Structure 1
Amino acid sequence: MSPPSSAANSAEFYSFSAENIDGEMVSMERLTDKNYAQLQELYTSYAGQGLHILAFPCNQFGHQEPGTNAEIKENALNKYHTTFEFFSKCDVNGSNALPLFKYLQNALPGTLINSIKWNFTKFLIARDGTPYKRYSPQTDPVVRSVGCFFNLILYSTQV
């Protein structure tokens, strides 16, 4: 049996639930929650020191962001309690990609290809506007590594 080729099938994955070994129903949607929670934790920790998190919703990956801008904002606020800044839904790849993302892809090339491979790819930009690092959506220690970088930048600007 071959894996499904449709990107829509990957989005459907998150609509399923399964019983875990303890007999509890577990929604696959919980796997999508970690990025917003992690970003909010990072923002809460460092916003007072000048950190900005800019979220650009995109529907190019498995149609995971089909809602309107208002629906996306409401969901982020009510479900994830986000307080960082959201922008209008946009394309990040292809001919209709926001120029900002074309710039970031060239400045911080990805592994194998420059295009953004999935939602929640993260770009860290230094205070002076220099693109510093690109993180994959699966990068769990982003809070620690960004925090270390941010503390280093704060230290170097205060010396």
Structure 2
Amino acid sequence: HVTRVAAMWLRPAVLLGVLGTRGIVRTMCAQKEDWKKAASIYEFSAIDIDGNDVSLEKYRGYVCIIVNVLTAMHTQYAEQGLRILAFPCNQFGSQEPGTEAEIKEFAKGYNAEFDLFSKIDVNNDTAHPLWKWMKEQPKGKGFMGNYIKWNFTKFLIDKNGQVVKRYGPKDEPFSIKKDLPQYL
């Protein structure tokens, strides 16, 4: 049964999500604090929805949107080099309480073709190091602080693994689509 909140999860929105698993943050960095020394997203890894450790190095040379969800944009731009990395997060009103298996099954129902990662935290001490890093980048800083205020905050990543823009939860997919061509 698909709830309105769950349906929002797969609406055309781009959001870069934090990487982690139930209390255990995983990254290629040797220590949790090493995220500050990272030069690009390629120095991080995340656990995918099937429990596999995935190096973000595999996205080198691609423009990426790191997000909670996004389907339509991936379909439109995948052949031009766009990759969408979806990271579910349950820190906002418990909107994503499901298990990894439930999330994966739900996404299949929407024919989601983007890369789906394990549920993570994006704020506080439990935030995945990638999210901490993205929020600290010059073009990743938020309006009125770096805290991710709600689901659907989005980060656009260029082919060099750098944050080139942060979009708020209320930014429509159109605003992202108009920025994409200069990076593809």
TM-score, scaled to structure 1? 0.71
Query: How many aligned positions are there?
Result: 124
Does 2:79 correspond to 1:48? yes
* Equivalent position of 1:94 in the other structure: 124
Question: Deviation digits for residues 72-105 of structure 1, max 9, x if unmatched?
Answer: 1111121x32110111101111111100000011
Does 2:10 correspond to 1:36? yes
Q: How far, CA to CA, are the matches of 2:6 and 2:144 in structure 1?
A: 25
Alpha-carbon distance, 1:151 to partner: 1.8
* Equivalent position of 2:102 in the other structure: 71
* Equivalent position of 1:147 in the other structure: 177
* Equivalent position of 2:26 in the other structure: none
Q: CA RMSD in A?
A: 1.9
Question: Deviation digits for residues 20-51 of structure 1, max 9, x if unmatched?
Answer: xxxxxxx981x663562312111011101110
* Equivalent position of 2:145 in the other structure: 113
Q: What runs of 5+ residues in structure 1 fail to find an aligned partner?
A: 1-26, 155-159
Identical pairs, percent: 48
Q: How far, CA to CA, are the matches of 2:162 and 2:83 in structure 1?
A: 14
Q: What runs of 5+ residues in structure 2 fail to find an aligned partner?
A: 13-69
Q: How far, CA to CA, are the matches of 2:96 and 2:8 in structure 1?
A: 16
Question: Helix, strand or coil for the counterpart of 2:83?
Answer: coil
Question: Helix, strand or coil for the counterpart of 2:10?
Answer: helix
Larger Rg: 1
What amino acid is aligned across from residue 112 of structure 2 in structure 1?
T
Question: Helix, strand or coil for the counterpart of 1:60?
Answer: coil
Question: Deviation digits for residues 95-151 of structure 1, max 9, x if unmatched?
Answer: 1110000001111111112011111111000111110111112111x2x33333332
Q: How far, CA to CA, are the matches of 2:146 and 2:78 in structure 1?
A: 29
